[in-house]
Structure 1
Amino acid sequence: MDLNTICFLMFGFLFIGYLVLEGFDYGVGMILPFLGKSDTERQAIINTLAPVWEGNEVWLIAAGAVLFAGFPQVYATLFSGLYLALLLIVSSLIFRGVAFEFRNKDINHNWRKFWEWAIFFGGVIPALLWGIAVTNLLTGLPINGEMQYSGTFWDLLNPYTLFGGLAFVFAFLLHGAVYLTLRLDQQLILRTRKMGLITGKYAMYIVVVFAILTFVYTDLTSKPIASGILVASVLTLILCYRCLRDREYTKSFVCSTVAIFSMIAAMFVGLFPRFIVSSLDPNWSLTIYNSASNPLTLKIMTVTMAIVLPVVLVFEGWKYYIFRQRICVTEIGFKSRIKLWEQLHDKLEELNKYYRITTIVLEKAKSTVERGGSIQLDEMKHGSVTRQIFEFKALIQRGRQLMYIIAEKIKILRKS
């Protein structure tokens, strides 16, 4: 096995690993607005991702590093041809990361709803676009003889690639639902299972049709191993649905993981030794040989990844082992109520402080007016009474704001 093949396998492993791990992140994000009926339940769903979602992005960064160092021509062609699609993916991921952090910065219902929908779209958009991007590599892009993309963004969209994007979305939806059955307590498992069965039914039909279209629109039929892996992914997805229906949640998650891994692996096996198929002329396709770096660079990268990959795998395994406990909705609700009571106490203390200051300002204004005569006119001239009146108005306004905040917190406490 030469260095070019090893680097191709490393990229494939890292990229598929990213989509498998990030796949349930996408799925959970898409489920979030519909599964959680209360703020506490939605927080519990988010907490299932909190310890792991950032680490999952490392796989994408590592895959990008392998592509950049090992196959710079592929990297350049992809980023020029799929620039808008990749920009949308990166923007969605950034916005989703911001949403995870900003959601709990305020207790306002509309504020939290906005960021929950941001998490939703941060799952849908990348899932759809990754599906479109991967299927385009196999079905072909308009790559000319100079190894450059000669089409537009709209050339990426056709019935097959759009259906591929849809297949990725529903496969990740099922993957996310199955993941939640392992991470949430009994209070939410039944509802999660029901949603998983609904999405799983659609996922099975869509992935079956996608597999058929793959055999029609690509040359995968000429590669028996790739064809067998794709068929196996469909069968594994069906088995995942059956395990979920029978409440065998661990088996169901293993099956969904294998199904997604094998579905994407089938496409990489179908591509090999090509990286990007040219729809203009098969001879213009980018392969692992005509787009690779020099042998020294490939050797250095292979040695580096041989050291880094085991560390990444050990860290990932340790991370999921540490955070394997189920998330308790009741415990989150209790902690949220304690936090709200503490915030309410702080706001009441602040309101009391403003009340005391307001009393002092009123006493000053009263004594100034009572002095009367020339003293009153003199102080009016210097604006002392006017200034005190403005201070009083500002204090009243701040008091109203505090009362509104307190009322909102009391409303949330009553609901919880």
Structure 2
Amino acid sequence: MDTILGLDLPTWWFLLIGALISGYGILDGFDLGAGALHLFFRKEQSRRIALNAIGPVWDGNEVWLVIGAGALFAAFPLVYGTLLSVFYLPFILLLVAIIFRAISIEFRSKEEMKWWRATWDVCYCLSSTTIALLFGLILGNLIQGIPLDKDHQFVGRLRDFFNPYALLISVTVLSLFMLHGAMYLAMKTEDRLYAKMTILINQTSKFFILCFITASMATLIYVPHMEAIFHKYPVMFALPVTAVLIVLNMRRMIEKRRYLRGFISSGVTTALLLLLFASGLYPNLVLSNVDARGNISIYEAASTDGSLRTMLLFAAIGMPLVLTYTVFVFWTFRGKVKLEETSY
């Protein structure tokens, strides 16, 4: 098997897809969090400012999800097909929620009637919350394993997805996104709305820390295979230790109202938690909780070396372009939000 810098091609694609998912979680995470908090704003002007804070960037952030899904299909088609089959209904609900969120943002300001705007405000909040919860639900089930037989066929039932651990991870993801979004909005607002955001940041940070501690304890108790890598490679203990330190630093930055540093900390927390998840899975992409023969490793699911090598070349060209575009957009629309005639 071909190697690049000491790593085989399936491992490179495992890392690349992990980076894409992390990028999506960091970038679209604050969009979703801002949407989940939307109904906490009572005034029309506050809701418009909150919408225009994410207005220039939300659709670009979703590009990371599209690229990640495309990379998974190209590099690991067996995993792509298995996940779509297993999580068919959650993925359908996810697509519906993504569509409704986009419609809500674009349609809200098309009419002046209060009922019209209130309706789309509710749709925007519910769809954003649903997306975050569904991502957490899928992640929670992947962490603890899904019921696959030796032929990778799903042998469970729909209600199996709604187990206590997966629901806990789902709420934890939502709490992290809400905190991430609240700090982003604080950086983009001023005056009374900024004061409102300081209260929401304090509340969501406490909510996230509670969820973080509970989810960590539940993982150690009920998902022992996630800690196997730490016994095999003790140096990997640096990951959870770093995650805890970053969370503590985030809380310290919040108390000092240094929200840019807090926002960076919440983004790093998102990446570290996903890195912990990936470390616990490697070299598998999907775990079976009923038959170990149902596990799908990166080597079993990978495309041919020729395909992986060619796609890696395109990724090496395309990823810097996406990163450059992302930085350019955020730099262009930096600073506080000012409502204009063309604003949402």
Mapping of residues 112-191 of structure 1, within 5 Å = 112-191=117-196
Aligned partners of 1:270 and 1:58: how far apart in 2? 27
Aligned partners of 1:168 and 1:233: how far apart in 2? 15
Corresponding residue to 2:291 among 270, 276, 281: 281
Aligned partners of 2:58 and 2:106: how far apart in 1? 12
Aligned to 2:266: 256
Kept in 1: contact 2:180–2:267 (CA 8 A): yes
Mapping of residues 305-344 of structure 1, within 5 Å = 305-328=315-338, 331-332=339-340, 335=341
Corresponding residue to 1:33 among 21, 36, 39: 39
Aligned partners of 2:159 and 2:238: how far apart in 1? 31
Aligned to 1:201: 206
Aligned to 1:84: 89
Asked if 1:18 is matched to 2:15, the reply is no
Which structure shows the bigger proportion of residues in helix conformation? Answer: 1
Structure with more relative contact order (C-alpha pairs < 8 Å, separation 6 or more): 2
Aligned partners of 1:143 and 1:102: how far apart in 2? 42
Residue deviations 1:234-272 (CA, integer Å, cap 9, x gap): 432232122112111111111111111111111011111
Report the Cα offset of residue 231 of structure 1. 4.2
Give the count of matched residue pairs. 332
Identity %: 31
- Give TM-score scaled by structure 2 length: 0.93
- Counterpart of 1:181 in structure 2: which amino acid? A
Kept in 2: contact 1:28–1:45 (CA 8 A): yes
Aligned partners of 2:144 and 2:210: how far apart in 1? 21
Asked if 1:42 is matched to 2:47, the reply is yes
Deviates more, 1:75-84 or 1:147-156: 147-156
Report the Cα offset of residue 11 of structure 1. 0.6
Aligned to 1:3: 9
Residue deviations 1:58-105 (CA, integer Å, cap 9, x gap): 101110111101100000000000011111111101000000111011
Local SS of the residue matching 2:37 = helix
Kept in 1: contact 2:129–2:174 (CA 8 A): yes
Aligned to 1:389: none
Asked if 1:238 is matched to 2:243, the reply is no
Aligned partners of 1:227 and 1:212: how far apart in 2? 16
What's the RMSD between the two structures over aligned residues?
1.5
- Counterpart of 1:147 in structure 2: which amino acid? H
Asked if 1:61 is matched to 2:66, the reply is yes
Corresponding residue to 1:96 among 92, 101, 110: 101
- Counterpart of 1:323 in structure 2: which amino acid? F
Local SS of the residue matching 1:48 = helix
Kept in 2: contact 1:229–1:266 (CA 8 A): yes
Structure 1 residues 77 and 226, CA gap change in structure 2 (3 angstroms): farther
Local SS of the residue matching 1:290 = helix
Aligned partners of 2:50 and 2:181: how far apart in 1? 11
Report the Cα offset of residue 227 of structure 1. 5.1
Aligned partners of 2:229 and 2:248: how far apart in 1? 23
Report the Cα offset of residue 178 of structure 1. 0.6
Aligned partners of 1:307 and 1:146: how far apart in 2? 37
Kept in 1: contact 2:287–2:296 (CA 8 A): yes
Aligned to 1:348: none
Kept in 2: contact 1:207–1:234 (CA 8 A): no
Which protein has the larger Cα radius of gyration, Structure 1 or Structure 2? 1
Q: Which runs of 5+ in 2 are unaligned?
A: 1-6
Structure 1 residues 133 and 119, CA gap change in structure 2 (3 angstroms): same
Kept in 2: contact 1:164–1:210 (CA 8 A): yes
Corresponding residue to 2:76 among 71, 75, 83: 71
Aligned to 2:3: none
Aligned to 1:221: 227
- Counterpart of 2:118 in structure 1: which amino acid? K
Structure 1 residues 106 and 226, CA gap change in structure 2 (3 angstroms): farther
Kept in 2: contact 1:15–1:59 (CA 8 A): yes
Corresponding residue to 1:108 among 99, 110, 113: 113
Aligned partners of 2:38 and 2:308: how far apart in 1? 42
Kept in 1: contact 2:149–2:290 (CA 8 A): yes
